[in-house]
Amino acid sequence: MFAAILSATIKWQEKVGMYSLIAENLIYPLADLALGTSVMKYFCQLQKTQWWPVERLKEMQDVKLAELISHCHKNVPYYRDLFTRLGLTPADIQKQEDLRKLPIISKQTIRENFKKLTAHRPDRYKPIPNSTGGSTGEPLQFYIDKDVVSINWAGMFRGWEWAGYKPGDKRITFGGSSLIPEEKASVFYVVRNMLERNLSLSAVSLTKEKLDHYVKNISSKKPRYIYGYPSSIYMLADHCRCYGINMTFNAVFSTAEVLLPNIRQVIETEFKCRVFDQYGSYDGGAQALECEKHSGFHITVEKCIIEIVDECGNYVAPGQSGRIIVTDLHNYAMPFIRYETGDIGKLSNEPCSCGRGLPLLKAIEGRTADFIKFPNGVTLTGPAITLMFKDCNIEQYQLVQTGHNILLINVVKGERYSKEDEERFLHILKHHAGSDISVTVNYCDSIPPGSNNKFKFIINRDNSGARVNEQTR
């Protein structure tokens, strides 16, 4: 009943062309009030600070960093011990340049020091338990403040606005929804999608039938934007191309994988719009989005500090590739200072011709766009596979397709690993891949990296005639 009234009200507002205005000025602020978030407050702030000169933005980052360091020293046992060991006080780390005095932390560091990295009385920061499957095949569980969620969304809305999007505009999210077979969408999730006018489509396992169904759904709902994994959006675009379906959007927002040039080109040609790529490391707090000039990713410096270092941890010059290290300036419940994202990128010291002061992150490497295709027509994309493993107590995993219908999963168990973890990921995997797929789990102590010393969590060794879909860069 409530949903029907809500739906009728939204339709009426759509008819009079007022929805986006009402969404931005009434619905989203009310949602913030109800949920205890601050998305619209940050969105307004970020719309202004994007035009600040780079020096002023750096000053803002330094103030936030000094506050975070003081908090870590006072309330986070891991950092208090670390500072004592290194003979440092908060006064020694006041600016970004001082960060080099602290070591880089890895997923391993976090797993081993989970309790010590959690702040004293974390409830003060409204922590939200979180997890990631990781593009390096290493799942991680952690906490983020509710405030981090707010500024993340605000940063994303600001970036989407560069493509013409306004909060409340109709969009598709083509990602990892409906991952767990029996999990029904909550009322909150349904209402939220309705108010945001977001059509959530699962990109976990795609087949021709599923894509046909999505095309029908999209044609009737008429969303103007798509947000999701480039490999999945590419499959939708390719499906439209193969079957002569005409579908256009105002813009496509791609995330979670490296956007390969050929993938971008097919999507842009087929959907007759530009692709706005974005980079985010949800665990570490990094965020950077392409603007309308498409000359790199503007870093959301109001929420994070990004450093690029070489193998030995030394800073590299702008324009040179190195490891992306991130410090989330807003996560107080479980702060990660100098977190190794596992991604490779380079900074630019050139200002963007759009006039925004936000510095640019140039090419991103390291997030591969691998996928596995089975003869039953199912395709599993890389980011979707990472979601299947994100809540498992596993140190590292790797999927190897050794034949048409044969999958081998290498697993390095985590400390709290139990039979339930195996049951969980096998259940999800078989649901999406199909019951005719043979899956074997191989437990090992470590998984060696492949060629170029680069670890890949999806490998296709199927030489028996099935299409090989590995894409790397």
- Catalog residues that contact Zn ion under the rule CB under 5 A: 291, 293, 352, 354
CB of 358 to Zn ion, least distance (A): 7
Alpha helices in 92-229 (DSSP H): 107-112, 114-117, 146-161, 187-196, 208-221
Is 470 in contact with 459 (CB distance < 8 Å)? yes
Is 359 in contact with 301 (CB distance < 8 Å)? yes
CB of 252 to Zn ion, least distance (A): 18
CB of 289 to Zn ion, least distance (A): 10
**Residue 122: helix, strand or coil by DSSP?**
helix
Element (H, E) at 172: strand 171-175
CB of 429 to Zn ion, least distance (A): 40
Is 329 in contact with 68 (CB distance < 8 Å)? yes
CB of 54 to Zn ion, least distance (A): 12
- Give 243's Cβ-side CA count (13 Å radius): 12
**Residue 67: helix, strand or coil by DSSP?**
helix
- Residue 442: phi and psi, rounded to 5, are -115, 115
CB of 275 to Zn ion, least distance (A): 15
Distance, C-alpha 10 to centroid of its chain: 29
Q: Which of 291, 384 has the CB closer to Zn ion?
A: 291
- Residue 397: phi and psi, rounded to 5, are -140, 160
Q: Which of 78, 276 has the CB closer to Zn ion?
A: 276
**Residue 315: helix, strand or coil by DSSP?**
strand
Q: Which of 55, 415 has the CB closer to Zn ion?
A: 55
CB of 121 to Zn ion, least distance (A): 41
- Tracing tokens 């492949």 back to the chain, one arrives at 450
- Tracing tokens 């990921």 back to the chain, one arrives at 425
CB of 257 to Zn ion, least distance (A): 22
The CB density around residue 240, as the number of other CB atoms within 10 Å, is 19
CB of 352 to Zn ion, least distance (A): 3
Distance, C-alpha 377 to centroid of its chain: 27
The strand pair at 406-413 and 438-443 is best described as parallel
Q: Which of 309, 354 has the CB closer to Zn ion?
A: 354
What is the identity of the amino acid at 113? N
- Torsion sign (Cα): 438, 403, 433, 111: positive
Q: Which of 237, 291 has the CB closer to Zn ion?
A: 291
- Residue 76: phi and psi, rounded to 5, are -115, 105
**Residue 41: helix, strand or coil by DSSP?**
helix
- Calculate the dihedral angle through the C-alpha atoms of 252, 278, 285, 363, rounding to the nearest 10 degrees: 170
CB of 287 to Zn ion, least distance (A): 15
Report the C-alpha gap between 225 and 251 in whole angstroms. 5
